[in-house]
Structure 1
Amino acid sequence: MTTIANSGFTQSQLDQINGTSSSSSTQANLTSAEEIQNRFLKLLTTQIQAQDPLNPMDNSQMTSQMSQISMVSGLEKLNATLQSMMDSQASSQSMAATNVLGKKVLAAGNDINLQQSSAAGMLKLAGPADKISVDITDSSGNIVRSLSLPAAGSAGMVSYTWDGKDKNGNLLADGSYSVNVTASSSGTAVTATPLQGYLVSAVAFDTGKPQLLLSSGQRVSMSDVQLITE
């Protein structure tokens, strides 16, 4: 609650502005800056009409009090505007999440599916890298193949393919495998995130923000989606 300092008003008048009474233990809480402003202006008008012409009230203090009221009122309006913007953004996010239901999206994931001796994947680099490696592992965690990718001159997404063969050139069975990606630039590690395409099977709102339920079983937010492919 905003309290108005003494600027020539009587204690009774100040109590009315501040929402308190010196003769009672009951405190009336003001609900908004507008109510404070209305009371202040009403009492100010009364004070001006009744003031002694030979001893007028201090204009500088009056200006200071009015500035305080304007600041509180402005903050309330700013808060209301920000809340409206947040509500609008949340509504837009919910609509965007619903629109991708049933579509395929590109999101973080270290799985890769080998079908008909062919598989494709992507990774996201946080910066340029002169060395990029992709290790493919089976369900037991054994590395069955290591891929060396061309250098990347800038941050961004890099795609790669796998012919389904192990490090000895033997064709492996179709199925699900995992990948581990690493990257470096002049010996310094560069963050590399494996990406994979998933079908959006549902949209959940139980956390207060929309989350996509992917065919892999994981949950991701809209900000985690790198690409909507179809």
Structure 2
Amino acid sequence: MATIDQSLLNKINGATGTSASGKDVNSADAIQDRFLKLFTTQLRAQDPLNPMDNSQMTAQMSQISTVTGLEKLNQSMASLTQAQMAAQSLTAAGLIGRSVLVADNGLTLKGGEVRGAVGLTQSADQLRIEVKDSKGSVVDSFDIAQPGSGLTYFNWDGKNAAGETLPDGEYSFSVSATKAGKAIEATALSYQQVRSVGIDGLTPNLALSNGRRVTLDTVVEVAA
């Protein structure tokens, strides 16, 4: 039984450049085209009494099929990524002017009240919130008893510990939570207005009213 001429395989696998049709000679389609043409040529010239070994042809075709499949998979993934980026960009653009809840400890007091939230990985016995002015001094503090896991919302009335109304402006807050006398993880979350949207890499980023930039995938909630 004859074998496939190794020189044909070398021509298939070792070619470089661009074919007359304009295809990249190393692309899966070009390799497959060359293989079929060269194999057909050798098939016509073979000795009918001593046919070629089909196992080599099968192995080569299997390799070509694998390369073709991977190339098509890569093309599909690239198209999917582009579609996802386009969808995310449209979603992000729709957030301009809206308030979003993100991991941030800023509080913008306006009209005598501001809303914030705390994220807990588990339920707590007690949650303490301390509000600070622009100088970092604590102006008010309050406790929330037995908050559950997930998001816990709060409203600050814009007054200090003495009950005096504070001026509108930028404040911050810190959070601490305990369970069975031990500290547990707690994340400060605040509402910030989206001023603009930018594209950096695969995920759109949002420019917030407090000057920070966050990626779209870090938005916890969009305010109604």
Report TM bin, short chain: 0.7 to 0.9
2:199 to 190, 201, 205: 205
| Change in 2 beyond 3 A, CA 1:166/1:18 | same
Residue segments in structure 1 that go unaligned for 5+ positions in a row: 1-6, 21-26
Cα deviation digits, residues 144-182 of structure 1 (max 9, x gap): 33221122333x211112344444x34252233210112
State the match for 2:116 in structure 1: 121
Deviation of 1:11 after TM superposition, in Å, equals 4.2
**Are positions 1:151 and 2:146 aligned together?**
yes
1:219 to 209, 213, 219: 213
Q: Distance in 2 between matches of 1:206 and 1:73?
A: 32
Cα deviation digits, residues 177-206 of structure 1 (max 9, x gap): 210112233345433222222221111235
State the match for 1:173 in structure 2: 166
Q: Distance in 2 between matches of 1:12 and 1:63?
A: 17
| Change in 2 beyond 3 A, CA 1:115/1:36 | closer
TM-score in terms of structure 2 length: 0.84
Q: Is the 8 A contact 2:203 2:217 kept in 1?
A: no
Q: Distance in 1 between matches of 2:136 and 2:101?
A: 24
State the match for 1:89 in structure 2: 84
Report the secondary structure of 1:173's partner residue. Answer: coil
The aligned length equals 216
| Change in 2 beyond 3 A, CA 1:83/1:192 | same
Deviation of 1:60 after TM superposition, in Å, equals 1.8
Q: Is the 8 A contact 2:115 2:191 kept in 1?
A: no
Q: Choose 47-56 or 77-86, whichever is displaced more.
A: 47-56
State the match for 1:24 in structure 2: none
TM-score in terms of structure 1 length: 0.82
State the match for 2:104 in structure 1: 109
Q: Distance in 1 between matches of 2:109 and 2:86?
A: 39
% identical equivalent positions: 43
The root-mean-square deviation of aligned C-alpha atoms, in Å, is: 2.3
Q: Distance in 1 between matches of 2:69 and 2:84?
A: 22
Q: Which runs of 4+ in 1 moved over 6 A?
A: none
Deviation of 1:212 after TM superposition, in Å, equals 1.4
Cα deviation digits, residues 14-44 of structure 1 (max 9, x gap): 2321244xxxxxx547231111111111122
State the match for 1:14 in structure 2: 9
2:154 to 144, 157, 160: 160
1:99 to 85, 94, 97: 94
**Are positions 1:71 and 2:66 aligned together?**
yes
